[in-house]
Structure 1
């Protein structure tokens, strides 16, 4: 009888232990470069809506890097000290945080980059090909201005992979159009107000001389659009091309005021979380975000083991604007 009771107790204990393993909550940090812009706000909103976060499998903590590489490095060190299970990283600078990332990985804390890249081939990247994005927006602008005229480029934060790669694609295409001349190029740090001020300065410095504007993200494009309007300049006369596909920009594109290309914030953040969970749980993990069905023909899951997951750019057109607006707003 005593042996039977002992066996029952052991069985009950093992069942409880198995349940505890299955019910493990993973503490994951999402270190993003900054939260002022629409895109990163959408990225954060989407990761919090991942099924694994909603059902408690993942406890996600978002760290606002405030557009500063040193701040992000300190946040990564904090996550190491506090024994986070994994880090999803959206770096402000592609090189500045390599050391902190190396330290995390040395402590067996997986790091997955999303939206922007870390300068390390050991960090999986989930996001878009920004060189191709730059090509797309530059080609659109060149077509709209007939391959000739003066253009200006509003850059993202200098040193961030998105700024570097988008500009590489932009310059590659513009160089093939000898009738196009770049007369100004300066950062507005993904910020709408800074882009408004910058564009106003350029319009004053080059009255009636700017044929088109390349903006490396939507918030800055919308600032440039506001500057054009305040100067009585029609965006049909000075076209603006951009990247992100955020709600305000989709509406502006629908009105014919800018040209933009969607990068899917939900796919970037939720895809990165699925890849992170595959690293933590192993081969048994199956991706839970809807984005793998959305891009199933273009982005293969590969059991969460691919070196990178490159998402497609989606041109925003009058035909798909309403559907994309609903997708990015959840409405």
Structure 2
């Protein structure tokens, strides 16, 4: 009778997708294509803190990080192939391209390796994707701009890292927002690489040829540099959408104190890397019900709440949240219910 009860319990656990395996001997690698801005540095810092504890606690045997020396797809593809040869059980990936890495990702899956992409996701069906609705974020930028400038006007767009899924999705959302609000017009677009210095230089280059700008739609990590470029050129200060970086929010606070400056800020939390890690761990642990696409919210601040968050953001850092194993389980279950 006791044996039958145990078997029934095991059957119920399997039916519900509950984890049964032991991951203490499993090795997880993190393939990262870029570390050249504050968001990526915060992402790596969060990942390091959470995974070191997971290794120390015996949850997994290893959680090694590998960042490519450049932003090129072939370099990351070769890196993934090398990780396959090194015998990792799972690969967490922030991808340089949504589709150009699919061949290497499929090789990993065919070798029995769990692949979880996040931020820069991959489209290969065998991979898991921790997805933020970046298109909605782009649309919301224009909707927020409408609240500040109901009559519309000219917009400057700052794009991110070329070729990534994030850049394409946010750009697509911004275009959709402008289409729904034709009182706005994008008069120029520059590449900022999600980096203040790059954005400042790019904006400074085009400013002399631009008409009056009422607002700047961005992707994060470029707001403060954009503000500096406008100030240096002696141009009127536009409404600049921010990306949750400490220097951006600090500048916003100073402008608000000076004359009530209003804007909006949004970005994916860098700590989403830790959620991707725990999703990989859960799949390795035997969960059979994990959706291949898990939608998680982006982090946004308004005129009323950004100042309360600012003291908790490290100087030079980004507003973030780190995830636990329990958070991953809740995220998986919430997506299953959807």
Question: Is the shorter-chain TM-score for this pair beyond 0.5, marking a shared fold?
Answer: yes
Given candidates 159, 162, 187, the residue that maps to 1:155 is 159
* TM-score of the superposed pair, with normalisation by structure 1: 0.79
8 Å contact kept, 1:87–1:110: yes
SS of aligned partner of 2:180: coil
Please say which structure displays the higher CA radius of gyration: 1
CA–CA separation in structure 2 for the residues paired with 1:164 and 1:241: 18
CA–CA separation in structure 2 for the residues paired with 1:24 and 1:179: 57
Alignment map for 1:6-17 (pairs within 5 Å): none
Kindly indicate whether residue 317 of structure 2 is the aligned counterpart of residue 315 of structure 1. Answer: no
8 Å contact kept, 1:242–1:261: yes
* Worse-superposed segment, 184-193 or 251-260: 251-260
* TM-score of the superposed pair, with normalisation by structure 2: 0.77
- Displacement, 1:199? 0.8
8 Å contact kept, 1:247–1:329: no
CA–CA separation in structure 2 for the residues paired with 1:308 and 1:144: 34
Q: Give the structure 1 partner of residue 270 of structure 2.
A: 265
SS of aligned partner of 2:121: coil
Q: Give the structure 2 partner of residue 227 of structure 1.
A: 229
Kindly indicate whether residue 44 of structure 2 is the aligned counterpart of residue 48 of structure 1. Answer: no
- Residues 238-258 of structure 1 show CA distances to partners (whole Å, capped at 9, x for unaligned) of 111144x23223323434465
Q: Give the structure 1 partner of residue 59 of structure 2.
A: 57
8 Å contact kept, 2:23–2:285: no
8 Å contact kept, 2:38–2:195: no
CA–CA separation in structure 2 for the residues paired with 1:279 and 1:135: 33
- Displacement, 1:49? 1.9
Q: Structure 2, unaligned stretches of length 5 or more? A: 1-20, 314-318, 322-338
Kindly indicate whether residue 250 of structure 2 is the aligned counterpart of residue 248 of structure 1. Answer: no
Structure with more relative contact order (C-alpha pairs < 8 Å, separation 6 or more) = 2
CA–CA separation in structure 2 for the residues paired with 1:148 and 1:329: 32
Q: Give the structure 2 partner of residue 297 of structure 1.
A: none
**Structure 2 CA distance for partners of 1:317 and 1:179, relative to 1, 3 Å:** closer
Alignment map for 1:151-190 (pairs within 5 Å): 151-190=155-194
- Displacement, 1:158? 2.3
Kindly indicate whether residue 326 of structure 2 is the aligned counterpart of residue 324 of structure 1. Answer: no
SS of aligned partner of 1:112: strand
**Structure 2 CA distance for partners of 1:329 and 1:109, relative to 1, 3 Å:** closer
CA–CA separation in structure 2 for the residues paired with 1:23 and 1:277: 7
- Displacement, 1:61? 1.7
SS of aligned partner of 2:294: strand
| RMSD, aligned α-carbons | 2.3
Question: Runs of at least 4 residues of structure 1 off by over 4 A?
Answer: none
Kindly indicate whether residue 213 of structure 2 is the aligned counterpart of residue 210 of structure 1. Answer: yes
8 Å contact kept, 1:128–1:310: yes
